[in-house]
Amino acid sequence: MNQELMVAAIENGTVIDHIPCNKLFEVISLLGLQAMTSTVMIGYNLASGKMGSKSLIKISDRFFSDEELNRLAVVAPNVNLSIIRNFEVVEKRQVEMPSPIVGVVKCANPKCITNNEPMRTRFDVSEKKEGVIRCHYCGREQLVDTVKLV
């Protein structure tokens, strides 16, 4: 049986698959799903051949902009996105790490201006060091795997 059918199919909307289970709640929060009025189905600890276990989210009647979806790259760079229309997958895509990353990640430096002023954070993705992002304001570097979200 198709694994995805453990969570009901949607007619129109967005499916986000292969979310690492420990990142599910961050993905929910990044997309603001808690404030959504349309139907949202969340599968948690589903069996996955590739990942062992995974999570999956189906969101009815909501299509996200590239900018919204690329924010996911910070916490879950390997998710699969499917756009559904009339129960059919009309588009599949991967998320891409945005650079700069604006308004998503919290700076790890408590003395950074961004932690003390009502403003959006901004990080540049390091070209030289893989997985490292650098605060545009204070210069503090951190690993993208261990970031806290704003």
**Shorter beta-carbon distance to another protein: residue 9 or 113:** 113
Q: Is 126 in the site for another protein (CB under 8 A)?
A: no
Pairing of strands 101-102, 122-125: antiparallel
For the bound state, the minimum distance from the C-beta of residue 137 to another protein, rounded and expressed in Å, comes to 3
In this chain, which of 72, 135, 144, 147 binds another protein, going by CB under 8 A? 135
Token pair recorded at residue 94: 């991967």
Q: Is 111 in the site for another protein (CB under 8 A)?
A: yes
CA distance 108 to 125: 15
The window from 1-9, 22-30, 52-60, 133-141 that contacts another protein (CB under 8 A) reads 133-141
Q: Is 150 in the site for another protein (CB under 8 A)?
A: no
The window from 68-76, 78-86, 95-103, 138-146 that contacts another protein (CB under 8 A) reads 138-146
Of 13, 16, 9, 112, which Cα lies nearest the Cα of 55?
A: 16
> Is there a contact between 105 and 147 (Cβ–Cβ < 8 Å)?
yes
For the bound state, the minimum distance from the C-beta of residue 113 to another protein, rounded and expressed in Å, comes to 4
CA distance 20 to 45: 9
